Amino acid sequence: MELGLELMRRGSHQVEMSDEGLMAEDVEDCLSVVISALKRCDLPAVEVIAWCSAMLEADRVGFIAELALQSLRAQFQETGTR
């Protein structure tokens, strides 16, 4: 999860500096592995929710894996309230 956050910071910075944002898909592809694993993890919901929020905040361009992160956060918000 820490490496995913670092990838978001550095990757979104690279996308921001790029004229065409061509690396956004590459960064999303890498992050999809982490997001998929978290969907099936047994971590406390509060940790996953906090990570998703940190990821969304670290995204300098505001669209890298946005829907996947919002969906994951919503999934764990539902789980955490049951």
Give CA–CA dist 46/26, Å, rounded: 28
pLDDT at 67: 97
CA distance 65 to 74: 14
The pLDDT score that the predictor gives to residue 81 is 65
Q: Domain limits of the chain?
A: 2-80
Q: Using the predicted structure, report yes or no on whether residue 18 has a pLDDT greater than 60.
A: yes
80, two tokens: 């955490």
The confidence score (pLDDT) of residue 21 equals 75
Q: Which residues contact 65 (CB under 8 A, 6 or more apart)?
A: 8, 27, 28, 31, 32, 35, 55, 59
Three-state secondary-structure class, residue 62 = coil
* Residue whose token pair is 């999303």: 28
